[in-house]
């Protein structure tokens, strides 16, 4: 099902401005909770956008607002240029959401589940892609099996198929590979890339920083309900002003040479030494000069670039918690 008012393709797949969600207090927690704190996000059409954050940061609340499972307190949301308040039906048709929970009826077959889901979205029988989706997710041979007989990984793939029955231009994957093995994770990554190549914009939340760095063109980091960074992945990684040099020496060390104390040295083994420096303050040549001055026998030397885990920890530790 394609949204009726999507004749021309929008620049933004999802536009969020001034989004706020306050949960009312209850018996266990009388004080209201600010879950989303004036969030602005512009998710470009055609990419894979990552949304990262620690537990309780507000990721799931934001996703549930997009899926119309949670009512926002204030702000404006557009999906595929369709206003969530003005036209909720067509906004829902423009997005498919794969939740963390495996909410599948165990007594239906995958074929029945996809047909039922397609019917709920008003997809005519002649336009349904049930077997195409099942085959794409390596579930074709399980089309007639009861869902209760499927493994956890198969159920996860079935959830992705359910989210795509109405052919939405935007797909949200909320922790899609949580609890699955490495092989299945790689399979899901490959399918996400294929969907993206076909024109689907993907919004991905994940706890696996490797996954975000591998898949995402752009990443937003949310913490305590606020967006604390939103940049292309390569730019975000390059922001961290810290590099590491690893040297292997020809004789055992019991401690790092005093001359290298300014480089935060760490003994990673009897003959392996890690040094750290900030490129904005120190040129790599100065580090190499200091190493030479120790007269250590250098057997090997390598550099380690910052990765997404470093920037994630740096940013989330730096931000104070909201009052």
How much is the pLDDT for 6? 46
| CB crowding 91-129: b at 16 or more within 10 Å, else e | bbbbbbbbbbeeebeeeebbbbbbbebbeeeebeeeebb
- In whole angstroms, give the CA distance from residue 314 to residue 311: 5
pLDDT in tens, the chain (323 residues): 444 444 689 999 999 999 999 998 877 778 899 999 999 999 999 999 999 988 888 999 999 999 999 999 999 999 999 999 999 999 999 999 998 887 888 889 999 999 999 999 999 999 999 999 999 888 999 999 999 999 888 888 899 999 999 999 999 999 887 767 778 788 888 889 999 999 999 999 987 777 888 899 999 999 899 999 999 988 887 766 678 899 999 999 999 999 999 999 999 999 999 998 888 788 889 999 999 999 999 999 998 766 666 777 777 776 655 44
For residue 186, what are its two tokens? 């790689």
Which of 205, 172, 170, 246 shows the shortest CA–CA distance to 13?
Answer: 170
Predicted structure pTM score: 0.76
β-pairing verdict for 33-44 and 12-23: antiparallel
Which residues partner with 302 through β-bridges?
246
* Three-state secondary structure of the chain: CCCCCCCCCCCEEEEEEEEEEEECCCCCCCCCEEEEEEEEEEEECCCEEEEECCCCCCHHHHHHHHCCCCCCCEEEEEECCEECCCCHHHHHHCEEEECCCCCCCCCCCHHHHHHHHHHHCCCCHHHCCHHHHHHHCCCHHHCCCCHHHCCHHHHHHHHHHHHCCCCCCEEEEECCCCCCCHHHHHHHHHHHHHHHHCCCEEEEECCCHHHHHHHCCEEEEEECCEEEEEEEHHHHHHCCCCEEEEEEECCCCCCCCHHHHHHCCEEEECCEEEEEECCCCCCHHHHHHHHHHCCCCEEEEEEECCCHHHHHHHHHHHCCCCC
How much is the pLDDT for 1? 45
- In whole angstroms, give the CA distance from residue 171 to residue 169: 7
Residue indicated by tokens 């940061």: 57
How much is the pLDDT for 323? 41
How much is the pLDDT for 292? 92
For residue 122, what are its two tokens? 């008003």
- In whole angstroms, give the CA distance from residue 122 to residue 18: 32
CA distances (Å), origin 139, targets 135, 214, 270: 6, 25, 51
């Amino acid at each position: 099902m394609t949204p009726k008012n999507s004749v021309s393709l929008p620049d933004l797949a999802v536009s969020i401005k001034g989004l706020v969600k306050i949960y009312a207090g209850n018996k266990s927690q009388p004080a209201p909770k600010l879950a989303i704190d004036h969030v602005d996000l512009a998710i470009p059409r055609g990419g894979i956008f990552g949304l990262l954050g620690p537990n309780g940061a507000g990721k799931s609340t934001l996703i549930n607002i997009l899926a119309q499972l949670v009512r926002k307190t204030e702000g404006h949301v557009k999906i595929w240029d369709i206003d969530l308040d003005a036209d909720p039906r067509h906004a829902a048709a423009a997005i498919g959401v794969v939740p963390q929970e495996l909410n599948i009826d165990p007594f239906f077959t995958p074929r029945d589940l996809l047909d039922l889901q397609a019917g709920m979205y008003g997809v005519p029988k002649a336009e349904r892609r049930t077997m195409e989706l099942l085959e794409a997710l390596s579930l074709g041979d399980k089309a007639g099996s009861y869902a209760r007989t499927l493994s956890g990984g198969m159920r996860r793939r079935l959830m992705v198929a359910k989210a795509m029955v109405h052919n939405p231009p935007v797909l949200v994957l909320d922790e899609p590979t949580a609890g699955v093995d490495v092989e299945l994770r790689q399979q899901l990554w490959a399918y996400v890339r294929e969907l993206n190549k076909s024109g689907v914009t993907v919004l991905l939340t994940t706890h696996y920083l490797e996954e975000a760095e591998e898949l995402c063109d752009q990443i937003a980091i949310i913490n305590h309900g606020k967006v604390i960074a939103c940049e292309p992945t390569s730019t975000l990684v390059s922001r961290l002003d810290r590099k590491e040099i690893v040297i292997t020496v020809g004789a055992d060390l019991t401690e790092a040479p005093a001359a290298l104390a300014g480089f935060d040295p760490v003994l990673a083994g009897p003959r392996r030494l890690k040094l750290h420096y900030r490129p904005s303050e120190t040129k790599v040549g100065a580090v190499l000069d200091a190493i030479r001055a120790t007269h250590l026998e250098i057997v090997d030397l390598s550099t380690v670039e910052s990765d997404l885990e470093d920037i994630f920890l740096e940013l989330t530790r730096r931000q104070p918690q909201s009052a």
